[in-house]
């Protein structure tokens, strides 16, 4: 009897977006019955014939219509054997990023509502999804300091002040604008475009672009991205 097992395998995605100088997570309102509505992370059971990664992509596609700029596995939640009250379910959580600056999300087939939720205004979610988000934020913060994933949250062409702001708000730290700029520019993977951004006040700012190719070349040469703060 030792080997009897009836465990369901699900995937969930924590999708981060950044706009209006704030960090957001993508949430959906789950239809259980017609009562009992809960906000939750997009996700669902893995199908028999699809890989874990395919499952997340499918679920995200069914429930939202965002275009991911980054995705990787985050953590597998299966220590609380009652995390789902109906069956034993373990969930493989994925961590994803998206450029939310100019993106309209709409509910798709599976979910009633899809919504960006500010990171500090997240309600109590279904299952252990609040836990997943915690872990996701942890990963986001860590990764921001040793991989150039900040660019995946911004539009292709962005202002230095936006990049700086992204770092400050997500890491909840102060930073010297001038040193930050110098450091990032010194890496040599940013390109100045000849476009300017419409600004409300102050000197017009050049738009920059992240050159992933150049970054990869640097990586091969042993380069190691790092942004530290005091």
Partner DNA sequence: CTATATTTGCGTAATATTAACGCAAACTAA
Partner DNA sequence: TTAGTTTGCGTTAATATTACGCAAATATAG
Q: Is 177 in the site for DNA (CB under 7 A)?
A: yes
Task: Give the three-class secondary structure for 132.
Answer: helix
Nearer of residues 9 and 168 to a copy of itself, judged by Cβ: 9
Contact code string over 196-225 relative to DNA, x by CB under 7 A: ---xxxxxxxx-------------------
Closest CB to a copy of itself among residues 80, 191: 80
20 binds DNA (CB under 7 A): no
Query: Is 144 one of the binding residues for a copy of itself (CB under 8 A)?
Result: no
Crossing angle (nearest 10°) for helices 129-146 and 160-171? 130
Contact call for residue 88 and a copy of itself (CB under 8 A):
yes
Q: Is 172 in the site for a copy of itself (CB under 8 A)?
A: no
| Pair type for strands 190-196 and 206-210 | antiparallel
User: Please, which residue, 75 or 180, has the CB nearer to a copy of itself?
Assistant: 75
Site map 148..167 versus DNA, x via CB under 7 A = -----------xxx------
Report if residue 191 touches DNA, rule: CB under 7 A. Answer: no
* Dist CA 136 CA 96 (whole Å): 9
Residue 166, token pair as written in the block: 């992204």
- The DSSP secondary-structure symbol of 121 reads G
The two beta strands, 22-30 and 38-40, are: antiparallel
Q: Is 182 in the site for DNA (CB under 7 A)?
A: yes
Three-state DSSP state, 85: coil
The entry of DNA, a copy of itself, none near residue 179 (CB within 5 to 8 angstroms by kind) is: DNA
Q: CA-to-CA distance for 81 and 100, rounded, in angstroms?
A: 35
Q: Of residues 33, 35, 36, 79, which one binds a copy of itself by CB under 8 A?
A: 79
Rounded CA Rg of the chain: 20
- Count residues contacting DNA (CB under 7 A)? 22
Instruction: State the DSSP string of 179-194.
Output: HHHHHHHHH--EEEEE
Residue 48 CB neighbour total at 10 angstroms? 5
Instruction: Provide the token pair at 77.
Output: 């939640």
- Interacting residue ranges for a copy of itself, rule: CB under 8 A: 2-9, 45-53, 73, 75-76, 78-81, 88, 90, 92
Q: For binding to DNA (CB under 7 A), which residues are involved?
A: 159-161, 176-179, 181-183, 199-206, 226, 228-230
């Amino acid at each position: 009897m030792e080997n009897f097992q009836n465990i369901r395998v699900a995937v969930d995605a924590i999708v981060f977006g950044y706009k209006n100088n704030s960090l957001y997570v993508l949430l959906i309102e789950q239809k259980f019955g017609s009562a009992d509505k809960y906000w939750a992370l997009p996700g669902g059971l893995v199908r028999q014939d699809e890989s874990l990664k395919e499952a997340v992509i499918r679920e995200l596609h069914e429930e939202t219509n965002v275009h991911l700029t980054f995705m990787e596995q985050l953590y597998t939640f299966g220590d609380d054997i009652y995390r789902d009250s109906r069956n034993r379910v373990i969930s493989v959580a994925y961590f994803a990023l998206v450029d939310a600056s100019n993106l309209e999300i709409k509910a798709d087939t599976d979910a009633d509502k899809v919504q960006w939720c500010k990171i500090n205004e997240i309600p109590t979610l279904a299952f252990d999804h609040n836990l997943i988000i915690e872990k996701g934020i942890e990963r986001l913060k860590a990764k921001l300091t040793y991989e150039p994933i900040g660019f995946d949250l911004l539009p292709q062409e962005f202002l230095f002040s936006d990049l700086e702001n992204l770092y400050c708000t997500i890491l909840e730290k102060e930073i010297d604008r001038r040193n930050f700029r110098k450091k990032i520019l010194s890496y040599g993977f940013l390109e100045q475009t000849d476009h300017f951004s419409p600004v409300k006040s102050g000197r017009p700012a050049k738009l920059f672009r992240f050159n992933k190719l150049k970054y990869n070349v640097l990586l091969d040469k042993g380069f190691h991205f790092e942004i530290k703060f005091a």
